[in-house]
Amino acid sequence: MLKSIEKNNLSFVDPDPIDTQSKTNLFSNNFFNKIKKNKGAIIGSVILLFFIITSALAPIIAPYPVNEMNFDDSLQGPSLEHWLGTDEFGRDIWTRMLHGGRVSLLMGLFAVTISGTIGVVLGVIAGYYRKLDIYIMQFIDILMTFPSLLMAIAIVAVLGVGLTNAMIAVAISAVPSFVRVVRGAVLSIRETEYIEAARALGVKNWKIIGRHILPNVISPIIILATLEFGGSILSAASLSFLGLGAQPPNPEWGALVYVGKSFLSQAWWMTLFPGLAIMLVVLGFNLLGDGLRDALDPKSK
């Protein structure tokens, strides 16, 4: 009988404006209409689709083998044969950029997935269980005293140089951002009337978190994950540029810029095009993230 009363009462209390808004914003026509009207989000989406599709199809559309050397064609500028020129070993830059995009995008995806998962769990625990809040946030505050790139460098120094360790370092350095955003959202939601009603009816905490709290923090998580995706790619490229991430001959964008800097005066294309790719992808994620923020804002008209 208690479960029946609980279910009936929750169905009456559930349609809170905040709770309903979160669920409708993500799937309503209004959400997609706002995205369509946002030029920045459209431009960012087009940029990202271009790099995602070309990177995914790299083994098919790449004109040359990724590590094929031809010293007769070394350091050639952009031409019809080599669209973006060649490097010091005669390898095609366009081919290496296509394959490098696969590495860079996967590094960003891995970093955001790991940091987002850990950050959401810690943020929900800190925001809902107040006794644990002070301990978790003190640890997060300590992490946030270090710039994210500096923290990533320190982690790589401990774990060792390499692509996998660079991804782990970037993921750990992004955790504090997720924790603080999720915790703030949970703190505001846990004091609402429908959460108090659920507690009064004896609903278990994990059910409250899964049914009422997590659906309400999806919007800020999606926005932050989109923005952090670009930041993670930039941080991973920075580590590779410093020689701490992907190692030659691995064609990651940051590693390509690192190699090209030694030939900047005689082969500018080796640095320009990989650097331009990093810039455009980060710009695309930032534009898309801003568009999602405007579309998911319940106060926007």
Render 177-227 in DSSP notation, one character per residue.
HHHHHHHHHHHHHTTSHHHHHHHHTT--HHHHIIIIIHHHHHHHHHHHHHH
pLDDT for residue 284: 95
For the purposes of burial, counting CB atoms within 10 Å of the CB of 267, is it exposed (0-12), middle (13-18) or buried (19 or more)?
A: buried
CA separation, residue 75 to residues 45, 64, 69, 130, 267 (Å): 34, 16, 12, 61, 6
Q: Which domain holds residue 99?
A: 34-59+93-296
The answer to the question of residue 192 being in a domain is yes
The answer to the question of residue 197 being in a domain is yes
The answer to the question of residue 78 being in a domain is no
- Residue 89 near residue 174, CB atoms below 8 Å: no
> H or E stretch including 69?
none
Torsion of CA 52, 54, 60, 66, to 10 degrees: -100
Q: Report how far residue 45's alpha carbon sits from residue 261's, in angstroms, rounded to the nearest whole number.
A: 30
CB 209: neighbour CB atoms within 10 A? 19
Q: Report how far residue 161's alpha carbon sits from residue 181's, in angstroms, rounded to the nearest whole number.
A: 31
Q: Rounded to two decimals, what is the model's pTM?
A: 0.83
Record the tokens describing residue 35, joined without a space.
């995205």
The answer to the question of residue 50 being in a domain is yes
pLDDT for residue 296: 79
SS3 for 89?
A: coil
- When divided into structural domains, the chain yields a total of 1
Q: Report how far residue 128's alpha carbon sits from residue 207's, in angstroms, rounded to the nearest whole number.
A: 12
Record the tokens describing residue 77, joined without a space.
């500028």
Domain with residue 217: its CATH number is 1.10.3720.10
Tell me the mean pLDDT per 10 residues along the chain, length 301.
38 39 54 81 94 94 89 89 91 94 93 94 91 91 88 90 90 93 90 82 84 87 92 92 85 90 89 94 94 75 51
The answer to the question of residue 17 being in a domain is no
The answer to the question of residue 276 being in a domain is yes
Q: Report how far residue 225's alpha carbon sits from residue 112's, in angstroms, rounded to the nearest whole number.
A: 6
- Residue 44 near residue 286, CB atoms below 8 Å: yes
Work out the widest C-alpha separation in the chain, in whole angstroms: 83
The answer to the question of residue 160 being in a domain is yes
Question: Residue-wise over 119-128: b if at least 16 C-beta within 10 A, else e?
Answer: bbebbbbbbb
pLDDT for residue 55: 93
Q: What 8-state DSSP symbol labels residue 77?
A: P
The answer to the question of residue 191 being in a domain is yes
